[in-house]
Structure 1
Amino acid sequence: MIPRLHTRQVRDKLRKFPGVALLGPRQCGKTTLAQQLGGAYFDMETESSRVRLDAEWESLVRGKRLVVIDEAQQAPDVFSRLRGAIDADRKRNGRFLLLGSVSLALMQSVSESLAGRLGLVRMSPLILPELKARQMDDLWLRGGFPDGGLLNAEMFPEWQQDYLELLMTRDLPAWGVPAKPQAMMRLLAMLAALHGQPLNASQLGASLSLDHKTVLSRCDDLSGAFLIRRLQPYSANIKKRVVKAPRIYWRDSGLLHAQMNVTDLDQLYGQPWLGQSWEGFVIEQTLATLSAAGKRPQAFFFRTSDGYDLDLVLDWGDRRWAIEIKLTSNPSTEMIERLHKTADLIDAERRFLICRVGSKIENERLLVTNLSGWLKRVSE
């Protein structure tokens, strides 16, 4: 069993709050993590668990065991009961652990019933710091879902294709998304082709016979299911004209590659969108590693109308980091000079070039390193 970095954060939050909400995509390892913590486990997708939780509620509330409620978004009525139990004894921490596979529905319930009563932990599929450095390309190709081929190559890409189909035909309708599965599958195909590019909702809508507001709403649903990320542009105090449309990224590279019918590294290296795939992989590994470490800088991209571009900007409030991502083992002097010129436009304190070098190059302002070295740096 692979130790998960999020475990420490969950334990820490349980010491500080009456309950914790652990949010992340289906099959990313939430249930396994929760079961390692012990306690009484209830799965809200099964009728027997719902009935048992109702029948045993009073004894559970009075007891000292951790109560784990899986797929909590399937039982919205439980949140008011949790609020009552927590408010009756606010001094007791570490009582409830809620697991949710959709951020939108669960966060709405939390904000309505449990604001200030729950700590929040966001969990991702497996990330490189949880694995061996030599597994990087396997992680990039197949993604981080434990059952999706990372640990058993034969499962990829069939597992991912089934995952996407079930998400569109079963999960999203069950979560109240008012869209036909076939329309959502067409949207997925278009979003895969747009990976790493600006999101133009009007153009997408024209292709799908939908208005742009509906497209944005469906993208909200896919974001809430942890499938896509919309990275917003950085524009604070910039004198140049900047691109204002968000960039769209698939959060798991294995799901993206399965959607694009890429099954091995040779195929992947032959794709015209290879660079965008690597870029999105590094961005997601970065943000997931930061989240696992309990760090939450604001994340952006930056691009001016005359072509100055940063793949990732991390805003820490009092300082900014400029990050450029390249699929090369031999970065050129021109790449570094361009990075510095672009970083100067946003007054970035530190500049980072993430590529596939064997050893790092570092000075006061610049770090050129590989992905493993970069993730170690951001998690410190």
Structure 2
Amino acid sequence: MGYLSRLIDRDLDELLPGLPAIALDGPKGVGKTETSARRAGSVVRLDDPDVALIARPDPTLVIKGPRPVLLDEWQHVPAVWDAVRRAVDAGAGSGSFLLTGSASPAAHGPVHSAAGRIASLRMRPMIVSERSGAASPTVSLSDMIEGRAELGGESQLRLTDYVEEIVASGFPAIRGLPPRARRVQLDGYLTRLFERDLPEATGVTARRPASLRAWLSAYAAATSTTASLEAIRAAATPGAADPPSKVTTLRYRDWLTSMWLLDPVPAWRPPGAPLRRLIAAPKHHVADPALAARLLGVGARDLRDGQGRTILGQGPLLGALFESLCAMSVRVIAQSLDARVSHLRTQRGEREVDLIVEGDGGRVVGIEVKLTATVDAADVKNLHWLRSELGAQVRDLVVLTTGSQAYRRADGVAVVPLALLGP
């Protein structure tokens, strides 16, 4: 499969000429190296032991090549990060450095944050509209934030197609494989995560890798919920005589977060807003819904048949994974617009909005996700509640669906098939 252009390409092309250094962060296999190398004047692969051996005693030796210098998998030689920071402080020009990493700077302790010197962009798996064969987007999230969106367009994707997209993965090198090969690759990805990538990225080795995998599987079963960490811990070790401690499971969460494998959507807590009694808990998401499906041992047929449920028992797993696919898409699009994405839920759970997109000036778009092709009054009641609470601050209300047509209901709510949503 040839290279497929993504929204992150547009971000890099726009930002690189104006910034001295950009770090592209995301899980292994998401496409960081190939995307960055297309813009690099020189490439330094720090996951090569010979290159790392040269860089460790004097990292300035590897940052002097033709610009932009791509420092790939920089976390293998953390001192490179500080070398780039110092080069920026010394006056490195725009478009000097690209850094890619499969672990966050926080995982290495002594590394300087480089705030104001190295800009960071999150690279997520390919969203539906970026994948080959999907419909071209016809509905602009930017226009929705501005309150002027025009709706139209038709998608050929149906529910069964979205199920296939969930299990196919957004990792470029995996999604084009035949189904069995894809499953084997995803399983191998998870095995390498626990046995090799975790020690390399964090410097720690899980004493009980089976326990770590069980915890991540329970986290996957909590997809699109606000389940407590204690509920996830209990689900990971049902009936176990010696479950991992709370401290251990917190370490699991921190390790996997540092490797960009967890991608929770934070709760919306706007300062000064009239809304009260909102929960602060995030909604749980694994980096790619396909990884969640593999962790739980379900395929496309299982999802279509309704097998698998979230650990809170709030509905079939398919609905949770479709919401995760939607959340990933909205976050990729929102990042290209410098907008923020969160979720809203009242403390008693009587009101919930799946995704809140907030642009500059506090402009808000409320989004509900429905695993359906049609939308009725019950599906939009929380969106209307949001508008009644926030008034003109809400610029648009949207339901993302598995349907074919984008249109606006008589009550003003936009109904948009996921594949048609774009920047």
Give the alignment's TM-score, normalised by structure 2. Answer: 0.78
* Matching of residues 138-157 of structure 1 within 5 Å: 138-157=164-183
Distance 1:366 1:21 in 2: 38
Q: Kindly provide the amino acid, as one letter, of the partner of residue 258 in structure 1.
A: R
Is 1:287 aligned with 2:313?
no
Q: Is the 8 A contact 2:124 2:328 kept in 1?
A: no
Where structure 2 has 5 or more consecutive residues not aligned to the other structure, the ranges are 136-156, 238-242, 308-315
Of the candidates 256, 259, 262, which is equivalent to residue 298 of structure 2? 262
Distance 1:26 1:110 in 2: 21
Deviation string 1:73-123 (CA, Å, 9 cap, x unpaired) is 1101223332343333x15221221110122447967644x3322222211
Distance 2:36 2:168 in 1: 25
Of the candidates 265, 271, 276, which is equivalent to residue 231 of structure 1? 265
Q: In the alignment, what sits opposite 2:362? A: 318
Q: Is the 8 A contact 2:56 2:77 kept in 1?
A: no
Is 1:221 aligned with 2:280?
no
- Other structure's SS at 2:24 match: strand
Higher mean alpha-carbon deviation, 62-71 vs 185-194, is at 62-71
Distance 2:250 2:282 in 1: 11
Q: Is the 8 A contact 1:143 1:150 kept in 2?
A: no
* Matching of residues 189-200 of structure 1 within 5 Å: 189-200=217-228
Q: In the alignment, what sits opposite 2:350? A: 307
Q: Structure 2 vs 1, CA of residues 197 and 62 (structure 1 numbering), >3 Å: closer, same or farther? A: closer
Q: In the alignment, what sits opposite 1:350? A: 396
Of the candidates 81, 84, 90, which is equivalent to residue 82 of structure 1? 84
Of the candidates 230, 234, 246, which is equivalent to residue 202 of structure 1? 230
Q: In the alignment, what sits opposite 1:329? A: 373
Q: Kindly provide the amino acid, as one letter, of the partner of residue 285 in structure 1.
A: S
Q: In the alignment, what sits opposite 1:359? A: 405
Q: Kindly provide the amino acid, as one letter, of the partner of residue 228 in structure 2.
A: N
Q: In the alignment, what sits opposite 1:92? A: 93
Distance 1:269 1:285 in 2: 25
Q: Is the 8 A contact 1:149 1:155 kept in 2?
A: no
Of the candidates 366, 371, 378, which is equivalent to residue 418 of structure 2? 371
CA shift at 1:299, angstroms? 1.6
Q: In the alignment, what sits opposite 1:179? A: 206
- Other structure's SS at 2:95 match: coil
Give the alignment's TM-score, normalised by structure 1. Answer: 0.87
Distance 2:108 2:205 in 1: 19
Higher mean alpha-carbon deviation, 325-334 vs 168-177, is at 168-177
Of the candidates 9, 12, 22, which is equivalent to residue 10 of structure 1? 12
- Other structure's SS at 1:179 match: coil
Residues matched between the structures, number: 373
Q: Kindly provide the amino acid, as one letter, of the partner of residue 183 in structure 1.
A: S
Q: Is the 8 A contact 2:278 2:346 kept in 1?
A: yes
Greater percentage in helix: 1
Q: Structure 2 vs 1, CA of residues 39 and 9 (structure 1 numbering), >3 Å: closer, same or farther? A: same
- Other structure's SS at 2:263 match: strand
Higher RCO (CA-CA < 8 Å; seq separation 6+): 2
Q: Structure 2 vs 1, CA of residues 300 and 108 (structure 1 numbering), >3 Å: closer, same or farther? A: farther
Deviation string 1:160-180 (CA, Å, 9 cap, x unpaired) is 111111111211122234633
- Other structure's SS at 2:121 match: strand
Is 1:121 aligned with 2:121?
yes
Distance 2:256 2:65 in 1: 38
Deviation string 1:289-323 (CA, Å, 9 cap, x unpaired) is 222x2423142232451522211122335222211
Distance 2:330 2:276 in 1: 27
Q: Structure 2 vs 1, CA of residues 331 and 36 (structure 1 numbering), >3 Å: closer, same or farther? A: same
Higher mean alpha-carbon deviation, 215-224 vs 122-131, is at 215-224
Q: In the alignment, what sits opposite 1:170? A: 196
* Matching of residues 39-78 of structure 1 within 5 Å: 39-51=41-53, 64-78=66-80
Distance 1:340 1:314 in 2: 16
Q: Kindly provide the amino acid, as one letter, of the partner of residue 229 in structure 1.
A: D
Task: Provide the alpha-carbon RMSD of the alignment.
Answer: 2.9
Q: Is the 8 A contact 1:20 1:119 kept in 2?
A: yes
CA shift at 1:217, angstroms? 3.6
Q: Kindly provide the amino acid, as one letter, of the partner of residue 384 in structure 2.
A: H
Deviation string 1:211-248 (CA, Å, 9 cap, x unpaired) is 43443342232222222222233355456644443321
Of the candidates 9, 23, 26, which is equivalent to residue 25 of structure 2? 23
Q: Is the 8 A contact 1:13 1:119 kept in 2?
A: no
Q: Is the 8 A contact 2:319 2:371 kept in 1?
A: yes
Q: Kindly provide the amino acid, as one letter, of the partner of residue 324 in structure 1.
A: E
Higher mean alpha-carbon deviation, 356-365 vs 119-128, is at 356-365
Q: Kindly provide the amino acid, as one letter, of the partner of residue 364 in structure 2.
A: R
Q: Kindly provide the amino acid, as one letter, of the partner of residue 257 in structure 1.
A: A
Distance 2:60 2:264 in 1: 43
Distance 2:246 2:61 in 1: 50
Where structure 1 has 5 or more consecutive residues not aligned to the other structure, the ranges are none
Q: Is the 8 A contact 1:320 1:349 kept in 2?
A: yes
